[in-house]
Structure 1
Amino acid sequence: MAHDAELADRVRTALSDRDVREVTMFGGLAFMVDEKMMVSVSGGGGALLVRVSRSRDAEYLEARGARRAEMGTGRSMGEGWITVAEEALTEDEDLQFWVDAALEHHAEAAGR
């Protein structure tokens, strides 16, 4: 499945101050920092897969457009994996919220 090129460009901008590597993964285009996935842009609706802190998982699931990520129908990816609907990413601030959530998890995991 092809990724949403416009959303991918917006993610590049949001992560422009980081050393990022782009990798085809999870049926989309993943953005990696220090070889850890931050977010992945998928196609067909522009959904964003986000890796977040498990300690804040329930809080993030309350956000508009957020749902538990699935790896195939009915197969939950578990805590810390959230898919955000395209409609919830219309403003740059909306996207930045999720990029920041991913970066927060990354910093926690790295012990920073």
Structure 2
Amino acid sequence: MLYNYYYILTFIVLTVIFIYSRLFDVLLLYFNYRLYCYKKIRRPYRIILVRHGESQGNVDKTISARLPDSQLNLTDTGIEQARNAGKQLKEIIKDKTVYVYLSPYKRSKRTYEAIS
């Protein structure tokens, strides 16, 4: 009699382990998929670096003695360069979402304004 209970109990335990292991596998697959989707969303599609256009410091090497580096502005050529870069970027980016990081320097801000 005890012998039969042993087999029944073993069968029940193995069945429960099998069910929970399958459930664990399914849960593991689900959470791996969710993590993959989350990483895919958070990952940038493309990173584009743009340098500022021609600045006063590029034209006049002595201007840095009179003005701080952060206050140097773009020249007319630099503004035109930024506009051209903006046209090229528009062709690349099209209607995708864009995040912009720029420095607080004047030439960087002016380049951003001309690009957009």
TM-score by length of 1: 0.20
Larger strand proportion, structure 1 or 2?
1
Larger radius of gyration: 2
